[in-house]
Structures are given as structure tokens and as C-alpha cells.
Amino acid sequence: MDWDDYQYFLAVAGSGSVSAAARRLGQSHSTVLRRLDKLETALDVRLFERFQTGYVLTTNGEELRELLAPIDEGMQEIERKLSGQDAALHGTIRVTTTDTLMDLLLPALADFRTTYPGIRLQVTVNNSFLNLSRRDADVAVRPSNTPPDHLVGRKLGVLRTAPYAAHAYLRGSAADGSPGHDWTRYDWVAPDESLAHLRQARWLREHVPAERHAASVDSLLGMVAAVEAGLGAGMLLCLLADAKPALVRLADPDPALDTDVWILTHPDLRRVNRIRLFTAFLFDRLSRHAAFTPSAGG
């Protein structure tokens, strides 16, 4: 038995809605559906009738909820008793983020330390997902359109991407940056092979021939620096490029290149008091930041 699967069942049974259960659990709609399907397959019974107005328990579902009620109450009692042992708000929180988000994150971390001086922060800057299951980190603040299903969290918003070039580059090139220009008239700073999975890299492959790639760089920060130096145009994060006076935006951000940003943690940690407090603090500070476009799903 996987108790997590039963928690998904109880959340949907209690709310009558997959969307409401997803919000309560801090998970995506698809993850809740997947866990319900997994449980129904394992038990070989149908637990819900699916209607447009919501999810209604079947007879088997009602029986399962009654069987789980005392177990759920016992788990909540254990949680209440143990949570008091963690209420002192001392200890270490290990945070991982990317180099692109570090400057955005630091003021929020400083505010958190001022408010909760008993907690020590250990920050790791790493552009790959650290393994939160092995406790390489407790909390991840990361851009990703496909966050791992085994992590829970909240979406901060959306980072936008647009084409930029340096004023000096435009003055000295045949591409003048005027509307309706041909992208192939520019030299381009491209993501290198290590960043080939990014949407910016795919856009460049589709719109610009390889012979117009003037340079390749292995980090988004490095790409901004290369474009600022005049090596060519580049598809850059607006968060980074808009802060550079030497750069000019060549076109509006492309919605196809939008990237979600998440605060994530492992399910085992989400109810640890200092982790819950820290993730709520970060969401409150960062979700209203001007760098983020609010996500359509809230």
C-alpha cells in the first residue's frame, strides 16, 4: 500500500473535484488523475463516477473512505503531536536554484533570515535538478515547464524570452532592428549543445541557419554577456536582458518560449514547519515580482 495514493483519493473525495484536490495537495491536475488511476488499477475497482459537475464516490469509494477515516485521523494526530517538536524554527534549509534566478532570490533570502534568524540557509547554485529525494537539497526554486512528478510545490509565474541585440552591434551591422526584419540578417549567439533542450535553442534551429551562428555559450547568463559584447543577437530571458542598458529588444516576447518557475520540495518535507514556512515566505515575496508574468492557471 502507498499511503500517498490514498491521500490523493481522500483529497478528491473531500472536495469532489480534481482541480480543488490538486490545489490542496500542491500538485498538478494530471498528477492527481494519474495517482487516482493507479489506485483504482491496484484495487481493481472504480472509486468515482466522473461527471462534468465533479467526482462522485461509487459504492466502493464510499466503503474505502469509511475504512480510511480512522487511519487518516490517526495520521493527523501523529502530525499534530510531532509538529510541535519542529516549531522552534531552528536548523538548516538547503536551497537550490539556477544562476539566472540567484539575483532575484537573494533579497528574499535576506528578508527571511532577518525574520527568522534561527534558521541557517545553505544555497547551491546548480543548473541541473538536484536530487531532492536524496536530500541534496530541501527546496528548489527552478524554471521548468515539466517539473518532476515526485516533487510538490507552487508555480511562481512565467519568465518571458525575446530577441535582443546590443546598440553597438546594430549600428555596425546590416540588420538595423527595424520591424519586419529578416532574422537571417543577424549574427546570432546560440545556446551550446548542453542547452539544446531549451526552447530558445529549438527556435534558433527553426529560424536561423547554422552559418549565422557567430558563437555558442553554455549558460543563459553567458549568452546575455556575449550579446551585450556585440557578438550578435540572442534569444534571452527578459529578466536578465531588460536590466542591460546596452541591449535593445528586437521583438515582443514569444509566448512559445515562456518558462514556468516553481518552488518545489519533496512530499516528505512539505509539512516540516520550517520548510512550509520558508516556501510560503518565498511565494509571498516572489510571486508578485515584476520579473514574472502571472500564469494563466494562477
pLDDT digits (tens, 9 = 90+) for 163-181: 999 999 998 775 555 545 6
- The whole-angstrom separation of Cα 179 and Cα 169 is 17
DSSP structure class, residue 293: B
- The whole-angstrom separation of Cα 258 and Cα 144 is 10
The pTM for the full model equals: 0.65
- The whole-number pLDDT of residue 296 equals 43
CATH 3.40.190 fits domain 161-257: yes
Q: Mean pLDDT, to the nearest integer, of 209-228?
A: 94
Q: Mean pLDDT, to the nearest integer, of 184-200?
A: 90
- Identify which has the larger pLDDT, 63 or 52: 63
- Identify which has the larger pLDDT, 181 or 55: 55
Whether 83 has a pLDDT exceeding 70, the answer reads: no
Q: Mean pLDDT, to the nearest integer, of 274-296?
A: 82
| Closest to 200 measured CA to CA, from 154, 170, 240, 151 | 240
- The whole-number pLDDT of residue 86 equals 46
- The whole-angstrom separation of Cα 142 and Cα 208 is 28
H or E element at residue 7: helix 3-15
pLDDT digits (tens, 9 = 90+) for 120-155: 999 988 876 555 655 678 899 999 888 888 888 899
Provide the β-strand partners of residue 163.
235
Cα dist from 268 to 2, 9, 32, whole Å: 13, 18, 17
Provide the β-strand partners of residue 249.
164
Could you tell me the pLDDT band of residue 297, with boundaries at 50, 70 and 90? very low
- The whole-number pLDDT of residue 294 equals 60
87-159+259-286: CATH class: alpha beta
- The whole-number pLDDT of residue 244 equals 94
- The whole-angstrom separation of Cα 270 and Cα 222 is 34
Q: Which of 54-63, 65-74, 206-215 shows the lowest mean pLDDT across its residues?
A: 65-74
Fold of 3-85: Arc Repressor Mutant, subunit A (1.10.10)
Could you tell me the pLDDT band of residue 225, with boundaries at 50, 70 and 90? very high
Whether 209 has a pLDDT exceeding 80, the answer reads: yes
- Identify which has the larger pLDDT, 4 or 9: 9
- The whole-number pLDDT of residue 130 equals 57
- The whole-number pLDDT of residue 128 equals 66
Could you tell me the pLDDT band of residue 88, with boundaries at 50, 70 and 90? low
- The whole-angstrom separation of Cα 272 and Cα 276 is 6
Block residue for cell numbers 510571486: 287
- The whole-number pLDDT of residue 278 equals 93
Mean pLDDT score of the chain: 85
Q: Mean pLDDT, to the nearest integer, of 24-29?
A: 81
Burial annotation 249-286 (CB, 10 A radius, 16+ → b, else e): ebeebeeebbbbbbbbbbbebbebbbbebbbebbbebb
Domain boundaries, the chain: 3-85, 87-159+259-286, 161-257
Return the beta strands (E) in 126-205 as ranges: 139-143, 152-159, 161-166, 188-191
| Closest to 137 measured CA to CA, from 169, 191, 93, 185 | 93
- The whole-angstrom separation of Cα 55 and Cα 136 is 38
Domains 3-85 and 161-257 share a fold: no
